[in-house]
Structure 1
């Protein structure tokens, strides 16, 4: 009955408020991920960093995110979504302050690792949290209009890099990043715990109180709620969590599939986006401001593609969208490999097309991951899945650094094309469709 009451709820002001508050934290997560990319051209000059050292610094944050995604995804199943969200926000704020005082490549690497633990935990837990408030028919659009804040955060990092780094230096990236995160801390107290999580823990009275609050937000403004449509729910849907279930029954194939999609999409996109400003500066010898402007352009186009995906994915479906995106992305990647990436404009145009196409997968995988698991496994399943995002993201920059140093930029794009083909094949053979289906029906 509780699920039926949640499924009938329209998108209310309260749900919009929840989306905005969590969105602010996610915005900072995205900003933090890319801030190092726009600080890096200045750091290379100041600290005399080699391409390999640049790759290791960029990757350190992603390694930390891998740790955070796994551990805090597990913890969110035990203690609740909100407790974990608050701790992770405090953690990545404190490490953002620490980055301001970094004095060498090694110190920045250490601070970025610990900051990554916080940022790696925030988005998968937030994704499980938001998914659990919204009905099946509205879930894709509602969630992705929240998740689009992630590429907006990436774009904002580019804007700050372009306008402030040439004037105030690399520390400006981290100072500006403190603002949205600090705002999130008091707003956190305006959010209720997930009713689905509460019910899964047997805290039925508390879950009922949350749903009743959401219902009253509708009725007191004159809204009329339809009668709840009760569907049979497998008793396992409210069972206690056991992470080993991720590798049993129907969830084994889903787990391996989503891991592969995370790795493929993020190895390419984060491998490129974090390296492009440095590439323009060090290989093509562009002025610092021009290098940062080119990097921002790629992020901005990614935002537009993400918005289009958010508006259309409930109509197109997750599986066909992902298949088309992976295979389409191979075309400009192969063109870059064939042409050799011989000019900055060539790289800007073709790499931006690749990034925009794959960004529609990258930012919507949190939606898809959360749909593949029941409440008892949603946070840990999404967390472990997104851990492979971090693995792919850490491998990508290191791969770019070493391939560029040993073979040249042409082979970077050839390797990324091969990864995109693998992603397309995995999606075609193994992915399932989830659009328009109730979470408890998808995942007993």
Structure 2
């Protein structure tokens, strides 16, 4: 690898010119292709995360698993994702976004194949842990990669129309489980998960490395070649290509990555703030989406088919809300949207508390409403996280932040189980309302607005 360029007028000027050229680029067919390819990987990442839940009913009978073993298998993937988010975020700063993405895809596909041949609960738990390392690393690195191609004015919409594929992937896991498992068995779900192996071909052949990362490493000739190719695409397609407006570049743009900088200067407050948002959003939403079908069946005594159908309502409205957010967030702004969403979500949660959550109708109307509102935060935090850090910290900062996604995802279901057992259903929603209120207050007092601002201006 080329040695990073130290402080110097030439490096600063080259970096400023590169950023100006990237910022004026229109959305070309090549950029759309990049979004499709990376989006496909993220779709199967989401599928892989949830698919074990739909294989588990057959595995319990086949391997005589008890409740503790089931819990360990389900948790193994999340623990692996925590490790992967930390590991691959740091690796992406060293070897590049594209090389790291290839490793994550190969890893979670290889472990998908291994899961096909799992012979007991222990082997499945081990394979799922290693697979989680790959899936946990893919999304934060992909988020950093896509953000670094798009100008400030179009970044939110372009990125979130990619990120909406994640909740769609979660829904696909449920569809595959419903149709495939009864006919072909649990192994069929993991066969579907092998499809992303095909993505390694276009990743290598059609996708360039992030020009911002290349420039940060002092590889200006390679970065220039990538941007020049994108400019030529725009010209061939007859798209407007304004003159680049160079802004002064900070000398720190080309210094070596150091994770400790996440907790220094302006980045300390940003790091702690984004961690709080990850925890609050995912504690509520994962608590809701994983427990609602069980609550419908066990608490309200609904038939299994009805309980599953009601659970689908929650996932479906979440996808719709995500699309709306993707289309509007560049107009509204991140800080304003997140503060409003957290605070508005407390309303249906408090209504359920006041009503007592005594009927399934109350829950199926109000709980999915709260979930949908908060889903606009949880699915878009990858966008916001990547905007808070400079190129030298973007992948590792996003990875560290999303590691708290896994923590919140684990805490939510545990909290629901404890509250239902000891206090009753209504207090689940009271607790979630309190968490949403905390998230709203943290956003109001500590978040920064990133709408329409160049990445290098936001983060020196």
TM-score, normalised by the number of residues in structure 2: 0.90
The reply to whether residue 355 of structure 1 matches residue 360 of structure 2 is: no
Greater shift after overlay, 315-324 or 334-343?
334-343
TM-aligned CA distance change 1:278 to 1:33, over 3 Å: farther
User: SS in structure 2 opposite 1:11?
Assistant: coil
User: SS in structure 2 opposite 1:137?
Assistant: coil
Alignment-derived partner of residue 197 in structure 2: 182
Q: Distance in 2 between matches of 1:166 and 1:333?
A: 36
The reply to whether residue 77 of structure 1 matches residue 81 of structure 2 is: no
1:60-99 equivalences in 2 (<5 Å): 60-99=76-115
1:400-411 equivalences in 2 (<5 Å): 400-411=416-427
Correspondent of 1:207 among 223, 226, 238 = 223
Cα-to-partner distance string for 1:254-288 (whole Å, 9 max, x where unaligned): 00000000011111112222333444445545444
User: SS in structure 2 opposite 1:428?
Assistant: helix
TM-aligned CA distance change 1:280 to 1:90, over 3 Å: farther
TM-aligned CA distance change 1:261 to 1:14, over 3 Å: same
* Deviation (angstroms), 1:104: 4.7
CA contact (8 A) 1:162 1:289 kept: no
Correspondent of 2:381 among 365, 371, 377 = 365
TM-aligned CA distance change 1:45 to 1:296, over 3 Å: farther
TM-aligned CA distance change 1:57 to 1:424, over 3 Å: farther
Greater shift after overlay, 295-304 or 200-209?
295-304
TM-aligned CA distance change 1:401 to 1:183, over 3 Å: farther
Correspondent of 1:418 among 424, 430, 434 = 434
* Deviation (angstroms), 1:95: 1.9
CA contact (8 A) 2:26 2:239 kept: no
TM-aligned CA distance change 1:147 to 1:286, over 3 Å: same
Greater shift after overlay, 26-35 or 164-173?
164-173
Structure 1 spans left out of the alignment, 5+ residues: none
CA contact (8 A) 1:55 1:397 kept: no
TM-aligned CA distance change 1:56 to 1:39, over 3 Å: same
* Deviation (angstroms), 1:352: 1.2
Q: Distance in 2 between matches of 1:141 and 1:115?
A: 30
* Deviation (angstroms), 1:45: 6.1
Alignment-derived partner of residue 14 in structure 2: none
User: SS in structure 2 opposite 1:292?
Assistant: helix
CA contact (8 A) 2:81 2:137 kept: yes
Alignment-derived partner of residue 20 in structure 2: 4
The reply to whether residue 197 of structure 1 matches residue 177 of structure 2 is: no
CA contact (8 A) 1:332 1:350 kept: yes
Alignment-derived partner of residue 447 in structure 2: 431
TM-aligned CA distance change 1:342 to 1:178, over 3 Å: farther
Cα-to-partner distance string for 1:228-278 (whole Å, 9 max, x where unaligned): 001111111222211111000000000000000001111111222233344
Correspondent of 2:171 among 133, 155, 170 = 155
CA contact (8 A) 1:64 1:116 kept: yes
TM-aligned CA distance change 1:400 to 1:98, over 3 Å: farther
* Deviation (angstroms), 1:329: 1.5
User: SS in structure 1 opposite 2:438?
Assistant: helix
Structure 2 spans left out of the alignment, 5+ residues: 1-16
TM-score, normalised by the number of residues in structure 1: 0.93
Q: Distance in 1 between matches of 2:69 and 2:222?
A: 50
User: SS in structure 1 opposite 2:379?
Assistant: helix
CA contact (8 A) 1:34 1:274 kept: no
Q: Distance in 2 between matches of 1:177 and 1:187?
A: 18
Q: Distance in 1 between matches of 2:113 and 2:224?
A: 40
Aligned length: 443
1:101-250 equivalences in 2 (<5 Å): 101-179=117-195, 181-189=196-204, 190-250=206-266
Q: Distance in 1 between matches of 2:314 and 2:212?
A: 38
User: SS in structure 2 opposite 1:433?
Assistant: coil
Larger radius of gyration, structure 1 or 2?
2
Greater shift after overlay, 350-359 or 96-105?
96-105
CA contact (8 A) 1:166 1:288 kept: no
* Deviation (angstroms), 1:337: 3.6
Q: Distance in 1 between matches of 2:382 and 2:331?
A: 18
Q: Distance in 2 between matches of 1:43 and 1:409?
A: 29
The reply to whether residue 331 of structure 1 matches residue 347 of structure 2 is: yes
